[in-house]
Structure formats: structure tokens, C-alpha cells
Structure 1
Amino acid sequence: MKLNYKRLGNYIRQVDVRNRDLVVNKLLGLSIAKQFITSIANTTGTDMSTYKIVQPRQFGYVPVTSRNGDKITIALYEGESPCIISQAYIVFEVIDETELLPEYLMMWFRRPEFDRYARFKSHGSAREVFEWSEMCEILLQVPSIDEQRKVVAEYQAIERRIENNRRLIATLEETAKTIYRKMFVDDIDVENLPKGWRMGKLKDIATFAYGKMPKEKSKGNIPVFSGYGIVGYCTTPLYSKLHIVVIARGDSGSGRIVRSPQQFYLTNLAIAILLNDEVYRDFIYYYLSSQDTSTLRTGSAQAQVTINSLEEFEILIPVKEVCRSFYQVIDTFEKQRILLSKENNVLVRTKDLLLLKLSH
């Protein structure tokens, strides 16, 4: 046994309380992001009395691991009132919170090492399952309760800062959308456009470039951007300024319009829009975001967006002076958004390092 490591089964116990009297109607699910989420299951005609009740500060986890990729679906319930989850899930709780904090244990579950361990210990043929007995055999460090509180407080402070930054970014985005609608949507008749405005093709004001995979990942501090998010870091950027990116591959997101980091390396899942004149940048982003860009998809086996479909996409082209005015206003928002996004990138990496330290 590793020095200072304890058997998890000594600190947790399984809970199986059913919704017999139908007193709880808050149905939740669990996600691979390790969170309780609103359930999307069709429960018409379902006997909800067999569902399991989860109390605040209890855990739920899905024993089946073979369909989750590399993530184990497990979460700490942080709601204020009880909820119910599927009877196929396992509910458990910490026996004595003066010895082990649920929040500290949840930090342990968020470690990539836990996911790898749980997948390795999963068994089965048709589907692989991480049994309760295997959960109990996990070895973890259990420092003093004061040390646990300190680590949890540090982790939660980072999470709060990240969430606050996300709210600020959302506020900036809503304000920018309002300005866009006022300048380019409200009172604009495409059949009777203002002088100098016209309908054209996206290729009239932009060129395009497919992303590619970097030679090195997990080194340096330049984000490797897939369109879906940052998937690693490298030493040399492919682009050194903000770009508009179109997700090119992936059934869940192809055609979606996103902004890139300030400096980044773009993977082969996305296409960069390279504008002939920077003043069109923000207009193009909000215009494309307001359109049904799913029409850009081609292919049957796997939906994807090509440069050819982007080139031929019909678009409103206002006079440059109006786009410049919009750019100048939105650029202030963009600079603030970039600062907040950079801070969140650093905070996320700090969270990851904090989780890594738990096992050292």
C-alpha cells in the first residue's frame, strides 16, 4: 500500500433510498463533465417510485464506463433540495465529514488518473462496468481535515473566478449582439438596401485556410484550438491574431462559428476565415452566427464543412465605413473578452495543477 494512502471504502457507504411516495419530482441526470444536469429522458409512463433519491452532498455515479470515452460519469450533488436519478445509477455518501470532505473527494474524482484507473478496473464483455467493490478499493491520500478545507477553498476560489469571468464575457456578448442588430438588422430591408450595400458571396471579402495538427503538443503556452475548445498547447502559433473560425468536422458542431484565441494553432477540425480587410471581422462573426450555417455541411457518412461551401455562402456586404464603425465599437469589447478568456485559460490550467498535486 502506498505511504499515507487510505482505502476509500473506509470512508464511504452506498445509499439506496427509493422515491416510494413520489415526494421528489426533481429528475436529474449525470454528465461526463462530472456534473448533475437536467435530465432529457422521456419519462412518460415511467414508474418514478423506483428512482433513487439523492440528498445534497451525496454522490451519484454511472457504473457503466464503456460508452463514455475516457471519462467516468460521477458527480457530487450540490443542490439545496433532494433530487432523483435513474435506478441504474449508484448513490453513495461520505460516512464522516470530519474525516473526509465530500468536496475534497470530488476533487480526487476529477483527476485524469482516477478516470484511467476506473477504466482499467472496469470489467465485462457486452459492456464494461466499474463495480462498487472496485470503487471501495481505491487508494487515496486523506490529509488532515484542515488541510482538506484549505485545498478545497483554493480550488473553489478558482472555480468562482472562472464562472464570474464567464458571466462577464456573456454580458459583453449580449451587448455586442444588441449593437449588431441595431446597425445591421433592425430597419434593414434586403430588397431595398442602403446605398452601397449589396448581397454577395463570402469569398468576396475573405479567403480560407484549413487547420492542421501541430508537430508538438503539451509543450509551450500557445493554445492548440480545435474550434470546440483548447485541446493542448504548443510552442509556435499558426496565427498571431484573433480570427473567426468555422468548425469543419464533427456531427455535434460542424458549421458552428466561433472566435479563436488571440494567438493559437488551429487543428484540422476547423477552417480559419482570413479577411481581406480586418474591419469586416466583427460584422462577419455576428452575421454568420445569426445564419443557419448548418447548410454549409456536405457529405453523408460524416457531415463536414469545406472551403468551397464557405466561398459560395451568400452574405450581406454593407459599405466598409459602417463595418469600420462597428469594428471600432466592438473592438473594445473584444479586448476585454480576450483578457478574460486568457485569464480563464490560466485559471483552468491552475485547477489542473492543483488536482495533480493531490496525489503527490
Structure 2
Amino acid sequence: MNKGEMKRLGDYIREVDVRNRDLEVTNLLGLSMTKQFRPSTSNIVGVDLSKYKIVHKDVFAFDTMSVIRVHKVPIAINLSKSPIIVSPAYITFECKDSNILNPNYLMMWFSRDEFDRYADFKSDAAVRGGYNWEELCDTPIYLPPIEQQQKIVSEYEAITRRIHLNEQIIAKLEETAQTLYRKMFVDGIDKENLPEGWRMGTLGEICCKIGSGATPKGGKECYINIGTSFIRSMNVLDLRFNHNELARITLQQAKILDSVSVESKDILLNITGVSVARCCMVPDSILPARVNQHVMIIRPNKIIYSYYLLLLLYFSKEKLLGISQSGSTREAITKSEIERFTILVPSMETVCNFDHKVSSLFQYEVLLEEENNKLNELHSLLLAKIGQ
């Protein structure tokens, strides 16, 4: 492999300032902390969009205002052939010569944790304050020959395509499970005239454990890189478990929280905050585990109820949100409210049939999620490798 050299980034990029003067572009996007474009949350009623900047293909947008606050550099590249517009406060720039500096390689460089740490350090140390265009231009970048850049980008994009394919399959699996649930337990079901063996009941009747946890003393300082998994609300998504933000605690701390230990096939439900009513099943790969006070463990007394309850809670999100917002200034659901929550209790035979149909779907989803976790680790390794 041909070795590269450390170069000053400003020698290979230039600022571009193309305004939306003719109002031809209407797709306004913002920047996320994951270094991607996202739908804008700004109120643009009455706003003059002719002052906004157009971002064409292979052009970058850079938010200089957020680095100190979030300790990351919000920066993204438009890989689409369709132009977008961004805030006039953003810096927009491009590579001077893509035959010397590949734009996708540059985006990989911006995606490295080391780059964010460098920018954070410079933000604190800069005389002008913050990490602005001048600091970005002074940033060193490892620049191998263009052939090597293209090879690195190809490897990275191959992994990215596989991750996206897995995500599409996972979405289809979840869609199929939801369709089966609606077909068996929603469509055509009259709660006043239920099939034989069916009845209305409460969640507490079919569960042997419902309870939330606590946070060990010490706050974030108590988290470690190895040990017992510690589940927080950010880990619980809609039918998904977020491994990326998983914290860990020591064995001693876990023993203190033994009363809220997590078991296989437990349902996790967020009971406070902006993510209230999101639910997922605990993945076996993170056990042993504990939860904090914002997450409720719901454990059915028969394991065949697990997938049924998971989908039931998912489709009950609006009702649960209604409970959380009643009589409180903060969205929250209590244990007693969960125990009293009215549910449809189908016959054991029907639940067994449903469990048989959907368990294989979710088991396959778990395998794909585990593969994506490994692929994301490989992503990180490739990003770290380009700086060596």
C-alpha cells in the first residue's frame, strides 16, 4: 500500500456560496449529530428562502455553532443528485479536485471519533472561540494516493450497503409481524362478542413481574466498559433495542439492583420522558442486565405471551401516551397504571398459534441486528484505520 502524508485540509477544499435566489429548491434540511441531513425543524412560515444556501451533489454543509455544545461536528455531504437547501448560517464547501481528495473519503475522515475530539479540543483552545471555517481549514488530514482513497471508500460503502439491506429486511419482518397481529387480534374482533375462550382482562393478570429499576449512585461516572448491561430509556426504541448507547455497571452495583434484574423474553417499556410508551423485547445478547427508573420490565407468567404482549403494547402506544399525560406535568406511567391496563386476553391456543408464527420472524431479526452491530464495529475499525 502506498503511504500517504498528513496535509492541511484547507489546501484541498474551498467554500461555495450558492443562494436559492430563484426559489427553485424547496427541500430544506438540517444537520444531525450523526453527520447526516435530516428534515428541518425550523418554522419557515414567512421566511425568505431565497437567502438559504443550495447544496448540490458532493457538496458539504457544516454547522459551526454546535461543536462546543454537543462535542461533535455536525457536518454532512449531499450524495443525492437532487439539490437541497440549508440554513444560511451553515458553511457550505466542496473538494477543489476530486482526483486528489475523494469527497466520500473526506466524509469518512469527518466521521471519525478522533476528528470530533480534535474539533472539541480546538473549540476550547481557539482564540476566536468555537470550531469555524478557519479551524476546519487548519485541520490535518491523512491523504493517501487517490487509488487508495477509492479502495477505502469502496470497502466502507460495501459494508454500508449490507447494513442498509439488513435494515430493509428487518423493517419487512416487523411489518409482517404487525400484519399478523392485526389480522388475528384487531380486524373483525368485537370486544362485546368475543370468540369462545377469549376475554377482557388486565396486564397485571397475565404477568408475574412488572417493575422499574434505579440508577446506581454516581450518575454517568458509575458506568464502565465491561460488566452488567444497564438499560436506559434511550436503549428502548419501537420494537427495537438500541445497542449503541448501552451502558454497563459493576457486579457490585448490579447486586444492589437485583430486584430489577432482566430475563430472556422480558418486555421493556419506557415510562417517562419524550420516548414514553416505546417498547421492545430484551435481546439475550445483553444479559445479564438491569434497568433504570425510566424503564419498566413486563414479564408474562407464560413465555408464549411475550410476543403477543410486545405487539399489543406497540399498538397500544396512543392509549399509553394518554395515560402518561393525564394529571401530570411530566409524561410518566406508573406501575399501578400498567397493572390495571385493560387488554384482550385471547385463548391459549390462539396465543400459541401467534407465537409460533412470529417468533421465527423476530429471531431472524435478532440475527440481522447482531450482524449489523458487527458491521458497525467494522465501520469504526475502517474509520480508525484511515488515520494510521
TM-score (normalised: structure 2): 0.83
Helix, strand or coil at the partner of 2:175: helix
Q: Deviations over 1:65-91 (max 9, x none)?
A: 168523321101111122211111110
Post-superposition offset of 1:202: 0.9
Deviations 1:4-57, CA, capped at 9 Å, x for gaps: 321111111111111122232332222222111233433222211111111100
Contact kept? 1:172, 1:333, Cα under 8 Å: yes
Measure how far apart 1:309 and its partner are: 2.6
Determine the structure 2 residue equivalent to 1:252.
274
* Structure 1 equivalent of residue 163 of structure 2: 162
In the other structure, the counterpart of 1:340 is: 368
Contact 2:230 2:291 in 1 (8 A): no
1:278 aligns with 2:303: yes
Read off the aligned partner of 2:10 and give its amino acid letter: G
Matched residue type, 1:276: N
Unaligned runs of at least 5 residues, structure 2: 217-221, 255-260
**Per-residue deviation, 1:348:** 1.2
8 Å CA contact 1:209, 1:274 repeated in 2: no
Per the TM alignment, residue 312 of structure 1 is displaced from its structure 2 partner at its CA by: 2.0
C-alpha RMSD over aligned residues: 2.7
Among 204, 207, 210, the residue aligned to 1:208:
210
Over 3 Å counting, the alpha-carbon distance change for 1:356 and 1:305 in structure 2 is farther
| SS of corresponding position for 1:13 | strand
Pairing 1:242–2:242 present = no
Pairing partner for 1:289 from 314, 328, 351: 314
Match of 2:225 in 1: 218
Measure the CA separation in 2 of the matches of 1:309 and 1:21: 55
Residue-by-residue CA offset, 1:95-116 (whole Å, 9 max, x unaligned): 1111111111111111122222
Deviations along 1:97-156, whole A, 9 cap, x unmatched? 1111111111111112222222332369xx964211011111121112111111111111
* 8 Å contact kept, 2:274–2:331: no
What secondary structure does 2:269 align onto?
A: strand
Question: SS at the partner of 1:122?
Answer: helix
CA distance in 2, matches of 1:155, 1:86: 29
In structure 1, what is the Cα distance between the partners aligned to 2:332 and 2:67? 27
CA contact (8 A) 2:29 2:86 kept: yes
User: Secondary structure at 2:123's aligned position in 1?
Assistant: coil
Distance 1:92 1:345, change over 3 A: same
Aligned to 2:258: none
Q: TM-score, normalised to structure 1's length? A: 0.89
Q: What's the counterpart of residue 263 of structure 1?
A: 285
2:380 match: secondary structure: helix
**Whole-angstrom distance in 1 between the partners of 2:298 and 2:382:** 37
Residue pairs, 1:89-100, within 5 angstroms: 89-100=90-101
Aligned residue in 1 for 2:337: 309
Uncovered stretches (5+) of structure 1, i.e. residues with no partner: none
Residues 154-180 of structure 1: per-residue CA shift (max 9 Å, x gap): 111111111101110111111111111
**How many pairs are equivalent?**
355
| Deviation by residue 1:230-256 (Cα, 9 ceiling, x = unmatched) | 22475989646333210234x320221
Name the counterpart of 1:227.
Answer: 236
2:63 aligned residue: 62
Q: Which is richer in helix?
A: 2
